[in-house]
């Protein structure tokens, strides 16, 4: 009954064709043909693929359709995480037995994290494979590294418990993060093979409101804050995406002034190049982690992407989190002036 991998991630958006074109233009995704997936008038869906990443962009003009309702309440965002399983029916039964609410029996879809649904797909199902085109050659991005999910204060324990009991995941890392006066708890959960990773984030309401509080307020509830795409050459990817018009968060020069002292070994990319590209670096017992975050172009400034390269590192950039949230705060400050 174990989850094998992420089959695809589905975004509900206001304009599926425009959203797919943005992914193609900025990040090099291959967009497939427009589809009418469920027969509902005014509902359009576009698949987008690159490397091992499969995305679906769905929009609807029917106010009764779940996609239209989602966008009205949250704006564009991740609405469904489809998980490939060797026995999808048994995995569905397990999730339902541990509190998941059934949304669609035909597609084995449940309410996993409030409005972030989970869909259990039979691994190797020919219909599921045919729903996505083949990627057009070698791309910039290889796989989905993780999804970061924000949950309200007081609900982290229940979310982790569902991941353990309902999905068969296990917590692999937890920490308390302080950025200025704000604070948050983070728990990383993973499937047994380590191919599916959720980073759960919960605000500490004993402290002044911070970015997780802001996300939950603007998004109006639980949601995916960012999706991390893995690449094998972050410098090339950032340069190429920047040339295509993707905006990235910037990092103060003082971060790079202290980088050589903080790292026990060279990351393999000159510090001057890291500074130019604003790429962050962390190190664990296995090696280096290089990462950067896109500027949010979401109307509510809630969602963004992360690009990540793992050079042996298995962790998630703990030492870079403060730099990330400081950069997000700078972007938000500019957006509100």
Is 231-337 the same fold as 5-130? Answer: yes
Closest CA to 195 of 145, 258, 125, 127: 145
- List beta partners, residue 7: none
Closest CA to 115 of 145, 164, 87, 152: 152
Distance separating alpha carbons of residues 3 and 188, to the nearest angstrom? 16
Measured torsion, CA atoms of residues 140, 239, 335, 219, in degrees rounded to the nearest 10: 10
pTM: predicted TM-score of the whole model, two decimal places: 0.92
Domain regions of the chain by residue span: 5-130, 231-337
Closest CA to 42 of 54, 58, 30: 58
| Token pair of 179 as six digits | 């950025």
Domain 5-130: CATH superfamily is 2,3-Dihydroxybiphenyl 1,2-Dioxygenase, domain 1 (3.10.180.10)
String of DSSP letters for 139-165: -S--EEEEEEEE--TT-HHHHHHHHHH
| Helix (H) or strand (E) segment spanning residue 67 | helix 66-74
Cα 211 off chain centre by: 16
What pLDDT score was predicted for residue 60?
95
What CATH number should be reported for the domain whose range is 231-337?
3.10.180.10
Q: In a structure prediction context, what are the per-residue pLDDT tens digits for the chain, which is 337 residues long?
A: 689 999 999 999 999 999 999 999 999 999 999 987 666 778 999 999 999 999 999 999 999 999 999 999 999 999 999 999 999 999 999 999 999 999 999 999 999 999 999 999 999 999 888 899 888 777 999 999 999 999 999 999 999 999 999 999 999 999 998 877 889 999 999 999 999 999 999 999 999 998 899 999 999 999 999 999 999 999 999 999 999 999 999 988 888 887 877 776 678 888 899 999 999 998 888 889 999 999 999 999 999 999 999 999 888 776 676 665 666 666 667 666 6
What pLDDT score was predicted for residue 210?
87
Which residues, in sequence order, are CB contacts of 333 under 8 Å at separation 6+?
A: none
């Amino acid at each position: 009954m174990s989850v094998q991998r992420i089959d695809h991630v589905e975004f509900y958006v206001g304009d599926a064709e425009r959203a797919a074109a943005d992914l193609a233009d900025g990040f090099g995704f291959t967009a497939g043909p427009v589809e009418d997936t469920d027969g509902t008038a005014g509902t359009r869906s576009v698949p987008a693929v690159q490397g091992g990443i499969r995305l679906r962009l769905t929009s609807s003009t029917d106010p009764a359709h779940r996609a239209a309702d989602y966008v009205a309440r949250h704006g564009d965002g991740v609405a469904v995480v489809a998980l490939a399983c060797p026995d999808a029916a048994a995995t569905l039964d397990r999730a339902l037995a541990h509190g998941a609410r059934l949304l669609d029996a035909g597609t084995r879809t449940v309410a996993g994290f409030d409005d972030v649904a989970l869909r259990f797909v039979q691994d190797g199902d020919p219909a599921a494979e045919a729903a996505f085109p083949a990627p057009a050659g070698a791309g910039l991005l290889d796989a989905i590294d993780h999804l970061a999910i924000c949950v309200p204060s007081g609900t982290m324990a229940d979310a982790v418990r569902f991941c353990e009991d309902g999905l068969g995941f296990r917590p692999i890392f937890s920490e308390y993060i302080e950025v200025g006066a704000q604070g948050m708890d983070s728990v990383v959960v993973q499937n047994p093979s380590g191919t599916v990773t959720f980073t759960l984030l919960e605000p500490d309401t004993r402290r002044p409101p911070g970015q997780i509080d802001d996300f939950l307020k603007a998004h109006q509830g639980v949601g995916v804050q960012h999706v991390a795409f893995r690449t094998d050459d972050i410098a090339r990817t950032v340069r190429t995406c920047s040339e295509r018009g993707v905006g990235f968060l910037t990092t103060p020069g003082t971060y790079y002034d202290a980088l050589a002292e903080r790292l026990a070994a060279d990351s393999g990319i000159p510090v001057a190049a890291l500074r130019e590209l604003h790429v962050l670096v962390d190190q664990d017992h296995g090696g280096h982690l290089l990462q950067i975050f896109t500027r949010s172009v979401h109307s509510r400034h809630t969602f963004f992407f992360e690009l990540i390269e793992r050079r042996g590192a298995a962790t998630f950039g703990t030492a870079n989190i403060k730099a990330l949230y400081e950069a997000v705060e700078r972007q938000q400050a500019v957006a509100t002036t």
